A and B are shown apart, each in its own frame.
Chain A
Amino acid sequence: MKVLVPVKRVIDYNVKPRVKADQTGVDLTNVKMSMNPFDEISVEEAVRMKEAGSATEIIAVSIGPQQATETLRTALAMGADRGILVKTDDDAEPLAVAKILEKIVGEEGPDLVILGKQAIDDDSNQTGQMLAALLGWPQGTFASEVKAEDGKLHVTREVDGGLQTVALDGPAIVTTDLRLNEPRYASLPNIMKAKKKPIDEKAPADYGVDLAPRLTVVKVTEPPVREAGEKVEDVPTLIEKLKSVGAL
């Protein structure tokens, strides 16, 4: 089974984003960038499938600037076999990303595409579902467990109120939630090995996809700041305060 894993380069999870003074976006100059945490979980899941013998080849794809090569190298160091960089300096919206991925799926013929459920920059939570629709494939989103059973893919999903398991007739799309696995750190020998793994460089035009955005940003602003309140001495004072504002 061939597995395709799209990975996105985003602001590092631990960095607090700062809105630009001219309100055009979030300032990413000299900010640490990393692989989207949910995509790390996707790579890890694919690598575990390969280690278990159910996956034969893992292809990592990234759509982004030249520096997204680093993100691909991280995926390769974790255990992906080869990479595809679709190079663009424009911000690709989830719909355009899904269209490029649709074309790559057509060329590569994977049986499974594993994506992060959302990217922690735009928080859209769309690409996997869109790709599934464009391909006419079934989807198991927000997965906390994935296993093959009776020729179907059983995906346990994190849903409001609990867990839901669905059976998918392959080929299929899975999007990962936090509890699916704990991604490994790449070892130094694997990081060295990853430098020799091939990365194909492509452009959106190679896939005939127009990246022109459908959404135009009017402004990006700071959220309203919540003022810190007061420290209270002890439990009785806390209760008294809460009663005085009608919260108890």
Chain B
Amino acid sequence: MAVLVIADHSNDALSDSTNKTVTAAAKFGGDIDVLVAGEGAASAAAEAAKIDGVRKVLHVEGAPLKKQLAEAMEALILPLMDGYDALFVPATTMGKNVAPRIAAKLDVMQLSDVIDVQGQDTFVRPIYAGNAIMTVTSSDAKKVVTVRGTAFDAAGTANSAPVEQVSGDFGPGKSQFVSEEMTESDRPELTAAKRIVSGGRALGSDEEFQKIIEPLADKLGAAVGASRAAVDAGYAPNDYQVGQTGKIVAPELYVAVGISGAIQHLAGMKDSKIIVAINKDEEAPIFQVADYGLVADLFNAVPELIEAL
């Protein structure tokens, strides 16, 4: 038995979701190899070699792999799968983009966003925005699994697995990277943050979002999130979005400010350890999941909170 894990990384650094995916792969069993495909990705490969439980790291360099575009990744990974029984990929936008292409070419049904691995055929995954939890068995010869990071602890980093340089035939494909616009922030990344402050539609404008939410996040050393309503209204960029169609988070502390708590939002944050809700509508559904609810006008309560912290 052997599992190939695809690393999510920025070439310079490995994403924490990779370590969590290794933990999920360990529950599947067998030898675990990690593929680091990128351009100038030696430091990400070195980080991957430290993950506990990893047999070896396959490091592939190539310009088309710099942004891990799906077409190049498919061409690289597909031939490698001859040597593996399963492919485990973090359910990040990279993983969601790449994994189904491999599954289709292997003629297997992918298991998306898996939250538990119960042996080699049985997997647990949320459906209907987390309103139902489905346990399924797969009859396919090889398994292709994307892993929801919040459901698994990150594997430790005391290993020193060998890094093997591998080459592959992966391009130039029919897609090219043109440009990117990344949100500049000194704050922790949402899915890895220990604390998150999220804002909703009640903020009323992007100015208020910045004036109210950001200083509270600064005070708490927290990442900033937003409800879909706030994103749709243009108060916050889409990559702040927490929920069914945004990011799934489970921090130690989640502070929901002016968020009513639609089921789609709850789907993205209800596994947080402690939830605080600040909302002036005491009937808001967010209070049904909040450990501590404060019924108050956020424009008074949040500045007071910032002052007192």
Contact = CB atoms under 8 A, between A and B. Distances in A.
Interface of A: 11, 16-17, 19, 25-26, 38, 93-95, 98, 117-118, 120-134, 137-142, 144, 154, 157-169, 172, 177-179, 213-223, 226, 228-232, 234-236, 238-239, 241-242, 245, 247-248
Contacts of B175: 138-140, 166-169
B291 A229 contact: yes
Interface of B: 67, 69-71, 74, 92-94, 96-105, 107-113, 122, 126-140, 173-183, 189, 191, 228, 231-232, 237-239, 244-245, 247, 252-253, 263, 270, 273-276, 282, 287-296, 301, 304-305, 308-309
Nearest to A175: B97
7 contacts: A17-B131, A118-B245, A160-B239, A165-B178, A179-B232, A226-B289, A236-B308
B93 A159 contact: yes
B177 A238 contact: no
Contacts of A128: 100
B108 A214 contact: yes
A132 B293 contact: no
For B129, B174, B177, B263, which residue has the most chain A Cβ atoms within 10 angstroms?
B174
Contacts of A167: 175-176, 178
A163 B181 contact: yes
Contact of B100 (A16, A126, A219, A226): A126
B309 A123 contact: no
A247 B191 CA distance: 18
B293 A229 contact: yes
A218 B135 contact: yes
A127 B99 CA distance: 11
What is the interface of chain A mostly: helix, strand, loop, or mixed?
A: mixed
A161 B224 CA distance: 12
A164 B177 contact: yes
List the 7 shortest-distance A-B pairs measured between CB atoms, nearest first: A229-B291, A129-B100, A130-B104, A162-B182, A214-B109, A133-B101, A138-B174
A238 B70 contact: no
A219 B135 contact: yes
A186 to B, nearest CB: 21
A79 B238 CA distance: 28
A120 B128 contact: yes
Contacts of B293: 228-232
A235 B97 contact: no
Contact of B276 (A120, A164, A242): A242
Contacts of B104: 95, 98, 129-131, 133-134
Nearest to B101: A133
